Each structure stands twice: as structure tokens, then as C-alpha cells.
Structure 1
Amino acid sequence: MKKMFGIWVVVVFGFIFILSACGEQSQEDVVEKLESNLESMNGYKARAEMTMNTGQEDQKYSIDVWHKKKDFYRVELSNNQDEEGSQIILKNEDGVFVLSPALNKSFKFQEEWPENGSQPYLYQSLVNDILKDNEAEFDISEDHYIFETKTNYQSNNNLPYQEVYFDKKSYTPVMVKVLDKDRNALVQVNFSEYNTDPTFEDDDFTMEKNMNSESADTSVSSDAEAETDTFSVVYPQNMKGSELVEETQLDTANGERVIMTFSGDKSFTLVEEKQEVVQTLSSPQMVDGEIVNLGHAIGALSDNTIEWTNNGMNFILASEELTREELIEVAQSVQGKEVK
């Protein structure tokens, strides 16, 4: 009798073990489901908060992502500190653009965005990074499938890894941590909404509609505020061993311009200028470079120069000595502290 009882115990526990094993998804199963999701959906709308740790106080930004199959994208980046509105990365049949609607300013890029690098807020990019990494690590928590993969940031080799958390039920991203070489999270994206069955208007991805989304509101008040607008100089917090040796202020047709020269271990020049709101929609400025997410703004990186707009200001950072990664790090630190 005891022998029979022992046999039944072994059988029951073995059966439970088999059931639990069958119920858990393998890495291959999850990857296959992610690919299937990507193929079957006609688009999505997502909302997220991105936190960037640049060595100073953490900076938080809101991201709205729209994607319509196959090659239509709209990524809006905004933050509470920028009183001049948001910036938009737009991809449609005419190309890839970075828009500053409040300023009626736009750049056009000759590049294969978003396929040319990792994008932590795009479903396609996250899945593709997993598929390309044969050494991707896989883990399972109570609510998430977790991957650690290599990244592909062409302009920044200081962020080589990422952790991606997918919801177990919907297989949509919940959180992404972009890691440095020591596995410290320098960028974190937390998704709060994910709609995989969205509706779009026919003109949602046109430049005209997106450029008009804010410029009408801001242009009404721009004339009234022009007389009281003060020029505020913003200094980089990360100077790569250099120091400010010269600061020149010039009067231009558009207002005041400040040129700052930094010398030391790595010399560079920073130009700041109050950006005038253009009253009519002009042709996009062509850029032979790539899109760079600075956190507080979307930049245009070409050769040894980064240009961006933030809080109604236009910035140009140039250096023959800084690497591309260092250019980005200095540009990311141009925020927060002002001298009027």
C-alpha cells in the first residue's frame, strides 16, 4: 500500500511538472509571437514617458508614437520646461523630417530612419534588435517577458545594451532600459498606453497638418511677447575638461546671438540664438546627417556639428576634437542653468 502511494505521489508531481513546463513560453515562442504581432497589426498608437540620466538631475519627457503600416511614423517629443512647444519626427512618402511646429521650422533628412538604428520607443525597432542578436538573454517575471539585447546606436557607442519588458498578455512593450557598458540605465522609457487597433485620418502624417498643430496658437501671442522676451544664455554642464574662454554677443537681423568658445582637453564652440517664429510655412532645411535624440530636443547631427532647437532657442555645437559620442553628451547637458 505504501509502495502504491509512493508511485502515485511521483506520478502526480510529475504530471504537475509537465503541465507547468508546458504552460511556460520559451524564448523562441515569445520571439515568434512578437514577429506575428508585428506582421498582423496595421499600426499602433503609444504613449510613454522617457527619463534620461545625464549625470545631473533626471530629465523627463513625454512621447507620443503613431505608426501606420508600412512606412508612416509620427513621434512627438515634449517636456514641461519647453514653453515653445514640442518637436515631431515625421516619416511619410516624401521622406523623413524633424518639425518644430511652434517655430514653423523643419529639417529634412536623407537617411533610412528608423531602420538605421535602435529606437527605444518603436515596437519594430525593439523586435528587430531582438531578432538580430543571437546572444540575446531571456527571462520571465510574473507579468513580463524580458530580453536583454545589444543596441545599434550609430552615433553613440556608450549605450551598448538594452532591457526590454513585454506584457505577457498583449506582447506589447511596457518598459525599455537603455544601458551603458556597466549596465547602468541611462535612458528609461515607460509606456502608459498601447493601442494596436488605432484609427487615422488621411492627413495625419502630412507635414502641413503637423506643422499647423501648434504654430497657430503660438504665433498669436508671439508679437505681444516680443518686446518683453529676454535672451537667456544656457551653458553646458558637461564640458569634457574644457572651460569657457570667450563669450561674444552679436546683434543680428533676428535679434541677439551669443558665440561661446571653450578650450582645454577638447575644444568646441557653442552658438545660441533666439529663434524667430516664421509666419509662413517654408521649405524644410536639408540635412546631410542623422537624427539624434538629445532627450530635451531632437537634434540634427552632421559631421562635427549638432543643431537643435529648445524653448524657442536655436543651438549649434561644433568641434573638430570631440567624438560623435562626446558631441551628443555635451549637447545633452546644455540645459537647466541660465544666466540672464
Structure 2
Amino acid sequence: MKSYRAEAELSIKTGTEPQVYSVEIWHSKPSYYRVNLKNAKKDQSQIILRNDEGVFVLTPALNKSFRFQSDWPQNSSQAYLFESLVRDVLKDKDAVFKSTDKAYVFETKTNYQNNNVIPKQEITFSKKDLAPVSVKLMDPDQNVLVQVDFSNVKFDAKFDKDAFDTKRNMSSAQMEVPTTAEQDKPFSVLYPSDVPQGMERKEEKELQTSSGKRVIVTYNGNKKSFTLIQEKARVSATGTAISVSGEPVDLGFTVGALTEDSVTWSYNGVDYMLAAKGLTQEELLMVARSVYEKSSK
């Protein structure tokens, strides 16, 4: 296999209602990737790109691209990448295998950084051509929290010379997702629905900045604390790539940047920064992943 392109539907079932995304995946050996995640309902679109210049996360609606020094996607499981699924099957000496009329089904361990929430996955490959059919990521009680259903998998696909070019991808995506026009609309403050045991909200402050309001919410308890900062995202005038430290991390509803003690992300035209003391990265990600819908105060 020199390359492939595929489409998939990604469902995340951790909130009160499932979040559904369409995903377009391109890969050309050895290390070119383009993963386009779109949420049709909210006009959200993000592209994860890997090319000769590095790993980028593009947010077309804000004309922003973030550049990571990262070995993504080699560093952890990626449910929508075929070769990552194969790698997880090969790595797990205790993988459970069964064969059905049309498919090969494996149950394996996942290899997510700091993620005991979804330790297992069920991966189904087509018997006809070994193309991926579906992936179900499960919690320790076998409940499916994330599901990926593949369609239109084409091996040895042909790509244009600049298919993985950062500028080309940004401009073509902006034709589909208009740059956010709702810059002056007030945003709703979101609160995490999952926080480590014993932690509670202590303080909420609202500041006025040159670009509108900034809301700072602080939680603490059990000798741990975290602060969640929210403010309206600004559209970048230049579109110049911003270098960020950390690793790109899939939060489900968006892709963020994870460092040892912080996660930053943009969603629905709002910038979020979560900084913590005393939390493990797993707890940090648990909190971040639970910030995407309005929860009761």
C-alpha cells in the first residue's frame, strides 16, 4: 500500500447527546497525512496535516494554523487511521480475534496517552480487501464511548502534488467554511461536567479586554486546582502559522494542544485555556473533554 483515502463518521457518546463528525482521511507514504474533521451541525471544521514542514492543525474559520514539533500520528492510537489500527492489533499479544462471514474482528488494547477511560477497542476489517469497517472504543465496562464507521476506503489513491500543502488546504477549506462572521456575538460560558473527585468551583471572574470579555473560572480541592479561561477567538489577519509547544490531542469535538499541565483549544469561535496544578494529564484531558456543552451551574 502506497497511499489511501477514506471517509468516516465519528460519533462521540460521552455527553448528553452524541456528537457526530464527518472525517476525510488522506495518507501518502511515508509520512504525509491530512485528516479533515467536520461537524455539520455547527459549521466546525479542522484539518490535521503532516507534511515536510511538520504537523499542523488548521482552523479555517479563524484563519489560524498551529504548528507542532511532534511525531503524530506515531505516538498513540488514532481511531481513524488504518495503519494505526493495524499497529494496535500487532502490538497486543493478547488481542482477541474472531471471523464472521464478511469480516475479521479484533478486540485489542488502545494506546492513548494517559487514557484509562477507553482502554479497549473493537476493530473490524473487511474480509474482501482488509479495509477498515468500524472501530468501537470502549470503557472498562464495555460501553462504546467513541465509534468510527468507515466508508469509501480506496487504497493506492492518487493525490495532486500539493494535496498536503498547508496554504492550499487552508484556502480550499475556507471556501467551504466561511471565516467566522459572528465576532461580536456574546458567548455562553461553559463549565466542565467532569471534574476530579473532591474538586469544586470556587471562583468566577469576568474581565473586559480589548477584544471583549474574558471569563476565568477556578476549581480546587484535594490539594489540586485548575483554571479555565474563555474568551472570544479572533480571526487571524495574517494566517501565519503559530508555533505551539506540546502535542496535538484529540478532544473529540476539536483538536487541542496538550502540555504537561495545560490544554488549549478553540471551539465554536471561543478560545479556551485550561491550566492545572496537581492534576495528571489524564485528569486534565477528562476535564477538557467535558467542556463542550452548556452544563447547569
Please tell me the TM-score bracket, short chain as reference. over 0.9
Q: Please say if 1:63 is aligned against 2:23.
A: yes
Q: Secondary structure at the match of 2:89?
A: helix
Do 2:256 and 2:265's aligned partners in 1 also have CA atoms closer than 8 Å?
yes
Please state which structure has a larger fraction of its residues in strand: 2
Q: Please say if 1:236 is aligned against 2:195.
A: no
**Deviation at 1:194?**
0.9
Q: Please say if 1:208 is aligned against 2:167.
A: yes
Give the one of 80, 83, 105 matched to 2:40: 80
Q: Secondary structure at the match of 1:334?
A: coil
- Cα distance in structure 2, aligned partners of 1:286 and 1:257: 21
Deviations 1:108-150 (Å, cap 9, x if unpaired)? 2222111111111101101111111222111011211001112
Do 2:183 and 2:234's aligned partners in 1 also have CA atoms closer than 8 Å?
no
- Cα distance in structure 1, aligned partners of 2:295 and 2:115: 27
Q: Which runs of 4+ in 1 moved over 4 A?
A: none
- Cα distance in structure 1, aligned partners of 2:106 and 2:290: 30
Give the one of 235, 258, 264 matched to 1:277: 235
Q: Please say if 1:47 is aligned against 2:3.
A: no
- Cα distance in structure 2, aligned partners of 1:46 and 1:317: 33
Do 1:44 and 1:66's aligned partners in 2 also have CA atoms closer than 8 Å?
yes
Give the one of 42, 58, 61 matched to 1:102: 61
Do 2:225 and 2:279's aligned partners in 1 also have CA atoms closer than 8 Å?
yes
Could you tell me the percent identity over the aligned residues? 48
- Cα distance in structure 2, aligned partners of 1:114 and 1:42: 17
**Deviation at 1:279?**
2.2
Q: Secondary structure at the match of 2:42?
A: coil
- Cα distance in structure 2, aligned partners of 1:80 and 1:239: 29
Aligned in 2, Cα 1:213/1:156: closer, same or farther, shift over 3 Å?
Answer: same
Aligned in 2, Cα 1:179/1:99: closer, same or farther, shift over 3 Å?
Answer: same
| Structure 1 counterpart of 2:258 | 301
Do 2:192 and 2:295's aligned partners in 1 also have CA atoms closer than 8 Å?
no
Deviations 1:64-89 (Å, cap 9, x if unpaired)? 11111211000111213433x31111
Deviations 1:147-191 (Å, cap 9, x if unpaired)? 111221123233222111001112101000112223322211111
Give the 5 Å matches for 1:23-172.
41-83=1-43, 85-172=44-131
| Higher Rg of the two aligned structures | 1
Do 2:244 and 2:257's aligned partners in 1 also have CA atoms closer than 8 Å?
no
| Structure 1 counterpart of 2:276 | 319
- Cα distance in structure 2, aligned partners of 1:267 and 1:122: 35
Q: Please say if 1:258 is aligned against 2:218.
A: no
Aligned in 2, Cα 1:214/1:94: closer, same or farther, shift over 3 Å?
Answer: same
Do 1:86 and 1:100's aligned partners in 2 also have CA atoms closer than 8 Å?
yes
Q: Secondary structure at the match of 1:335?
A: coil
Do 1:232 and 1:338's aligned partners in 2 also have CA atoms closer than 8 Å?
no
Instruction: Give the number of equivalent residue pairs.
Output: 293
Q: Secondary structure at the match of 1:235?
A: coil
**Deviation at 1:245?**
2.0
* More displaced 10-residue stretch of structure 1: 171-180 or 233-242: 233-242
Structure 1 gap ranges (5+): 1-40
Structure 2 gap ranges (5+): none
**Deviation at 1:198?**
2.2
Give the one of 94, 114, 137 matched to 1:178: 137
* More displaced 10-residue stretch of structure 1: 230-239 or 53-62: 53-62
- Cα distance in structure 2, aligned partners of 1:81 and 1:251: 30
RMSD of aligned C-alpha atoms? 1.9
- Cα distance in structure 2, aligned partners of 1:152 and 1:208: 32
Which amino acid letter does the alignment assign opposite residue 127 of structure 1?
A: V
